[in-house]
Structure 1
């Protein structure tokens, strides 16, 4: 996971964690996220920590795998010296950027470094993101041979006009090819879609959903476009070059996704994610929503172990300088207090279908359940069974549900 840095304290050069990070560690799964911060072009909507060739200031993509391996090896030492029990890795996720801009051999080296450091649980999930125009059949077979189990293609839309607004470079007609190549290699397939692009119509969105469903993937993610300040798209909207889509239309897009995906045999298991069955849910993302432990490798990557959260230097040059010097690449961190951890627990668990055990809520939260049922935000049958589970209306208003459940 790599995103904007929160305000925190400076991280120590040795990266050692406080004793609290080890408490109950064996009750939590351990995952690894590897951030590959390279892209061919910068999409106008993107505010991720990514860099094109002209922005790298002398950093070579060809050196990156070796630097990431150094951090993995350092992570093993830091956890051991901090008294955090060693656990085999449950899930690995390569995100970006575009991880598949690197040669498959580089991704293999990074994955095997993780395996050699901690080992994998039986049936570990190993995913990489990929753009449809960044892989071919041979590359995907190479991933499968290296131990990858899953690939998540950034399809985003099947409508060329919408892709052009997003500045995505692939041809929608390539999506069936890469899905078939992934299938032939034995990889599970997820397709990522974005809705709410300026100028997108409900008919456009229906076209994209139906196109994605017709590829028969195992998993589909549908993310509402968030226009982030500082991006090219935000500037275009501010100047009036293109018009943002209003909240009511965004809700209509989401309701259409729920209708079509449900009819096609997909079940929602998190507000933005659908799978054909439980075995194809993203276990890596579920680890985030369930507040398990993960180590984030790479520039700008975030990590979380036992309520301690930290983040790495953002620019690849600054990251490389630190890991090559034998220092932790972390530049800041925070130790979450009990109140903050409880807020995050409720916020994250409320997003997944299995929801929150009502008995684990405060008296205030339990008192709110009847009202949430009356407002059709919470599933009454699930509540009778002891669980807070959002209805379709509740998913559209998830933040409001959380505000009502948490004490003032």
Structure 2
């Protein structure tokens, strides 16, 4: 079954964290993730922990969801006996968070502020499907304190949207981005997916042009991944659609990088481009640089002071545990120094700022030297003691990382 959670170890009924984890919390920043697991319909490629109305079953309700999240937040306030200085970032993801009333999202944000306090310059993001918002809704979110919106565009090609089973029209995502600007959002992201079967180079070029014309200051572009258990995977197994082609995906990535760079958006992570340093997604950077965060909602993951845990997946099970006064955490793991080093290398190498060469052992430095010789690392950065991927290196990032961790 897709999206299965690892086994991990048992979590105390009250969710208590080890004293050492509490003591170390917040040293690299602190954020809050809120998972909203509802979708109006399921996209054929989606493997996320989401539920349509027919899939939800009993024991969980959209109408009651905000109250359930607030119950976990109250539990979190008791667990985090050492409070973080402030919440640096909040990210509401899904699913489709904007299927909830704007007032519900506002209540959750207000409760996070009441519990831990939002930093004066906190970044507050919500994801949104383009068809789930309008100008009035976006204005309410902006008035509530949201500073950033991330819209799932994927493509402007009608044929590609049909294969992905997206519900919005080809022009709706750029229009929603323009509305977000009008509503007062300074930071707006559009997501793209490339390499969908049937997508042509012209299709992708038009999608890139639409993103640029919408005037957003952030773009995320990801190669299509076919996850087991999805309808898209089933169609490919039956031979109805071809599997994605790696060479085509590489061509699309290069086209994206060229077009976005020419438009003034620069890569700061392999799949992400921003117009300015301020436009970078600070919440994702918190993940990528080893920060701490509390994940609220079914299936949400958290990390505090070297302890990672994950909640039960189904909204009904999540609500039942909280109603009984229990943590919704299913299991957890205590990361060793070796675990944290491994993740640090895997994530930081993907960033434009790179990784200090000194963070690698002797075998890793030998791997870096080999990557440099193959043109996968920037020579000037290497000479300055940092590992930074070239454009070709970004195409082969996973292989470079394997070499560094050999």
TM-score when scaled to structure 2? 0.97
Shift of 1:6: 2.0
Please, which runs of 5 or more residues in structure 2 have no aligned partner? none
Match of 2:146 in 1: 148
Q: Per-residue CA shift, 1:287-337, capped at 9, x if unaligned?
A: 000010011000100001111110001000000001111110001111111
DSSP-derived class of the 2:370 partner: helix
In structure 2, the CA distance between the partners of 1:339 and 1:49, relative to structure 1 (3 Å rule), is same
Which residues of 2 match residues 63-142 of structure 1 at below 5 A? Answer: 63-80=64-81, 84-142=82-140
Q: Decide whether the 8 Å contact of 1:3 with 1:302 is kept in 2.
A: no
Q: Per-residue CA shift, 1:64-119, capped at 9, x if unaligned?
A: 00000111111111011xxx443310000000000000000000111111110000
* Residue 349 (str. 1) matches residue 331 (str. 2): no
Q: Per-residue CA shift, 1:261-285, capped at 9, x if unaligned?
A: 1111110000100000111000000
Shift of 1:245: 1.9
Which residues of 2 match residues 234-245 of structure 1 at below 5 A? Answer: 234-245=233-244
Which residues of 2 match residues 237-316 of structure 1 at below 5 A? Answer: 237-316=236-315
Q: Decide whether the 8 Å contact of 1:199 with 1:245 is kept in 2.
A: no
Match of 1:224 in 2: 223
**Which shows bigger deviation, 363-372 or 202-211?**
363-372
Shift of 1:368: 2.9
DSSP-derived class of the 1:331 partner: strand
Cα separation, 2, equivalents of 1:198 and 1:368: 35
DSSP-derived class of the 1:169 partner: coil
Shift of 1:210: 1.2
Cα separation, 2, equivalents of 1:63 and 1:263: 46
**Which shows bigger deviation, 390-399 or 142-151?**
390-399
Count how many residue pairs are aligned between Structure 1 and Structure 2: 403
Q: Per-residue CA shift, 1:127-163, capped at 9, x if unaligned?
A: 0000110011110000000000000010110101100
Q: Decide whether the 8 Å contact of 2:175 with 2:214 is kept in 1.
A: no
Q: Per-residue CA shift, 1:230-249, capped at 9, x if unaligned?
A: 00000000000111121111
Shift of 1:176: 3.4
Let me know the Cα RMSD of the aligned residues. Answer: 1.3
In structure 2, the CA distance between the partners of 1:311 and 1:126, relative to structure 1 (3 Å rule), is same
Cα separation, 2, equivalents of 1:27 and 1:337: 17
Cα separation, 1, equivalents of 2:102 and 2:83: 31
Which residues of 2 match residues 163-182 of structure 1 at below 5 A? Answer: 163-182=161-180
TM-score when scaled to structure 1? 0.96
DSSP-derived class of the 1:123 partner: strand
Cα separation, 2, equivalents of 1:298 and 1:51: 13
**Which shows bigger deviation, 366-375 or 300-309?**
366-375
Which residues of 2 match residues 12-27 of structure 1 at below 5 A? Answer: 12-27=12-27
